[in-house]
Amino acid sequence: MKTKKYFLSAPLLLLIVMGMVACKDSSVEFRRYTANVPQYMSYDDMRKPAKSTPANAIGTAGKIYIQGNYLFVNEKYKGIHVFDNSIPASPVNLTFIDIPGNVDLAVRGNYLYADNYVDLVVLDISDITSPLEVARIKDIFPYTIPETTESYPISNIDQQQGVIVSWQVKEVTEKIENNGIMPYYYFDKGIGAFMRESSNGAPSQTVGIGGSMARFIINGEEFYGLNQTNMQVVNISQPFRPQVGAKIEMSRVVETVFIDSLTLYVGTQTGMLIYDVSSPAVPVYKSEYSHVQSCDPVVVKDQLAYVTLRAGNRCGNWQNVMEVIDLHNLINPTLLKSYPMTEPYGLGIDNKTLFVCDGTAGLKIYDATDPLQIDLHLIKQYTDLNAFDVIPFGNVLIMIAEDGIYQYSYSDLQNIQQISKIPIGGK
The DSSP secondary-structure symbol of 142 reads P
Tell me the CA distances in angstroms from 123 to 4, 95, 302, 358, one per residue in order: 83, 14, 35, 34
**What's the pLDDT at 319?**
80
Return per-residue pLDDT of the chain as tens, 427 residues: 433 333 334 443 333 333 434 444 556 678 788 999 999 999 999 999 999 999 999 998 799 999 999 999 999 999 999 999 999 999 999 999 999 999 999 999 999 999 999 999 999 999 999 999 999 999 999 988 888 877 888 888 999 999 999 999 999 887 766 544 444 333 333 333 322 233 333 333 478 999 999 999 999 999 999 988 899 999 999 999 999 999 999 878 888 999 998 999 998 888 899 999 999 999 999 999 986 555 678 999 999 999 998 876 555 556 889 999 999 999 999 999 999 999 999 999 999 999 999 999 999 999 999 999 999 999 999 999 999 999 999 999 999 999 999 999 999 999 999 999 999 987 7
Alpha-carbon gap, residue 120 to 103, rounded angstroms:
11
For residue 276, the number of C-alpha atoms closer than 13 Å in the C-beta half-sphere is 8
Predicted local distance difference test score (pLDDT) of residue 291: 67
pTM, two decimal places? 0.85
pLDDT at position 206 is 74
- For 427, other C-beta atoms within 10 Å of its C-beta total 10
pLDDT of residue 295: 61
* Beta-bridge partners for 405: 400, 422
What lies within 8 Å, CB to CB, of 251 at 6+ separation is 229
Measure the CA–CA gap between 245 and 235, rounded to whole angstroms. 6
Structural domains of the chain in order of their starting residue, each with its CATH number:
43-143+192-423 (2.130.10.10)
pLDDT at site 176: 67
Residues in the chain: 427
Chain centre to alpha carbon of residue 294: 15
Give the pLDDT score at 23: 42
